[in-house]
């Protein structure tokens, strides 16, 4: 078990990591999700022992390792910018942590071939890293981390440089590998979709603060605040300021939407509703029957999907629509919100549904 107890990190009088408490269990996959400069790498460096916290302590299996350097910890790390030994073959790169640990030749050979088969490296074992593609070099670094059998494995956007097909395959395979290892895995990413695919637990970060930690799907469905909801949204979350009055949502005293069942118990008054782009559509459904007239800004066609940017009552929204929709700018169109998936937040941005059950 890895425990971060009120740890913080300051530099130049400013917080890089605000005081944080976090407990990660053995055999768990833990995703750090946040945009660039949110503090993911800084937090991982503290976990590894590369940096010492300004305050607080770090414990592994009950032992305080706060001042212990990374060389004395059983930690493996893989970065977006892969690191390999250029003079060694792929086989020897993967085998290197086991040779340092004094493993026997049979164990080394078995583990190298198991990892290389999983990561599609078997044909390249006798090559040197510089003769490989960037994706193959990254897979070599990942394989070396897996065979080390570390207590803590830190992966800082490790799939970012891989081609799409391999990235998707590894995203599906990695949770199975993690579950079998008994190690604590920490995986940093900027992509909400990657966090959802990996599953496990997620800590959402914003400007050095952990805003929420828990089961990944639970945080996606029930963010504790608007900041967390926005962190877990790509394309960006759609929001709108409204006033709840009985069973109606009002905008400038105009009835805009009916209040859905799951928000019926929310107190009347001003609030912010939020919803994901795939819960906004171009056509009516049984759950999105009331049209709102919006003005189109731009349409982006991405293969079999379209991202349609619109403006409604001064708010800019994104619609994620299936199929090709090339809509001219400045056109008035009807849009429909699936109100079953509305989230609601108070004036401080805190969730009014933190403990409610909502569908994804």
Task: Delineate the domains of the chain, giving CATH numbers in brackets.
Answer: 2-226 (3.40.50.300), 235-345 (2.40.50.140)
Neighbours of 221 (CB within 10 A): 17
How far is it, in rounded angstroms, from Cα 66 to Cα 55?
Answer: 10
Q: What is the pLDDT of residue 356?
A: 39
Could you read off the pLDDT of 276-329 as tens digits, one per residue? 999 999 999 888 889 999 999 999 998 889 999 999 999 999 999 999 998 999
Residues of the chain where predicted confidence (pLDDT) is lower than 70: 81, 180-181, 354-360
CA 97 vs. chain centroid, Å, equals 29
Q: Nearest Cα to 346, choosing from 272, 249, 287, 261?
A: 272
Q: What is the pLDDT of residue 145?
A: 85
Q: What is the pLDDT of residue 333?
A: 96
Q: What are phi and psi of 180, to 5 degrees?
A: -85, -20
Assess whether the previous peptide bond of 235 is cis (omega < 30° from 0).
Answer: yes
CA 30 vs. chain centroid, Å, equals 10
Q: What is the pLDDT of residue 232?
A: 93
Q: What is the pLDDT of residue 357?
A: 41
Q: Please, how many CA atoms are within 13 Å of residue 49, restricted to the half-sphere of its CB? A: 18
**For the chain, what is the HEC assignment?**
CEEEEEEEEEECCEEEEEEEEEEECCCCEEEEECCCCCCHHHHHHHHHCCCCCCEEEEEECCEECCCCCHHHCCEEEEECCCCCCCCCCHHHHHHHHHHHCCCCHHHHHHHHHHHHHHCCCHHHCCCCHHHCCHHHHHHHHHHHHHHCCCCEEEEECCCCCCCHHHHHHHHHHHHHHHHHHCCEEEEEECCHHHHHHHCCEEEEEECCEEEEEEEHHHHHHCCCEHHHHHHCCCCCCEEEEEEEECCEEEECCEEEEECCHHHCCCCCEEEEEEECHHHEECCCECCECCCEEEEEEEEEEECCEEEEEEEECCEEEEEEEECCCCCCCCCEEEEEECHHHCEEECCCCEECCCCCCCCC
How far is it, in rounded angstroms, from Cα 122 to Cα 115?
Answer: 9
Q: What is the pLDDT of residue 78?
A: 83
- % of the chain residues with pLDDT over 70: 96
Q: What is the pLDDT of residue 354?
A: 59
Q: What is the pLDDT of residue 359?
A: 38
Residues 31 and 198 sit within 8 Å (Cβ to Cβ): yes
């Amino acid at each position: 078990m890895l425990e971060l107890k009120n740890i913080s990190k300051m530099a130049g009088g400013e917080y890089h990591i605000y005081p944080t408490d976090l407990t990660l269990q053995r055999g768990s996959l833990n995703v750090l999700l946040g945009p660039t400069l949110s503090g993911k790498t800084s937090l991982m460096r503290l976990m590894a022992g590369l940096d010492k916290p300004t305050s607080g302590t770090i414990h592994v299996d009950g032992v305080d390792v706060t001042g212990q350097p990374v060389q004395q910890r059983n930690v493996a790390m893989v970065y977006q910018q892969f690191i390999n030994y250029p003079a060694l073959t792929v086989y020897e790169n993967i085998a290197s942590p086991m040779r340092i640990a004094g493993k026997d030749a049979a164990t080394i050979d078995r583990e190298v071939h198991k990892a290389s088969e999983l990561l599609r490296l078997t044909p390249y074992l006798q090559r040197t890293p510089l003769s490989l593609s960037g994706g193959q070099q990254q897979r070599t670094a990942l394989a070396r981390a897996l065979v080390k059998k570390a207590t803590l494995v830190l992966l800082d956007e490790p799939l970012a440089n891989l081609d799409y097909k391999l990235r998707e395959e590894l995203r599906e395979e990695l949770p199975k590998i993690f579950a079998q290892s008994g190690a604590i895995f920490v995986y940093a990413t900027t992509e909400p979709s990657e966090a959802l695919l990996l599953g496990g637990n997620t800590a959402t970060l914003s400007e050095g603060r952990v805003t929420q930690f828990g089961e990944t799907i639970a945080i996606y469905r029930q963010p504790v605040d608007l900041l967390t909801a926005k962190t877990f949204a790509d394309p960006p979350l759609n929001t709108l300021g409204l006033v709840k009055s009985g069973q109606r949502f009002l905008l400038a005293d105009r009835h805009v939407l009916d209040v859905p069942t799951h928000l019926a118990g929310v107190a009347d008054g001003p609030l912010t509703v939020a919803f994901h782009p795939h819960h906004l559509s171009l056509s009516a459904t049984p759950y999105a029957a009331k049209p709102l007239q919006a003005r189109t800004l731009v349409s982006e066609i991405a293969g079999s999907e379209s991202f349609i940017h619109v403006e409604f009552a001064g708010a800019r929204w994104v619609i994620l629509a299936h199929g090709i929709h090339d809509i001219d700018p400045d056109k008035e169109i009807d849009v429909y919100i699936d109100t079953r998936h509305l989230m609601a937040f108070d004036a401080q941005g805190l969730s009014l549904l933190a403990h409610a059950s909502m569908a994804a």
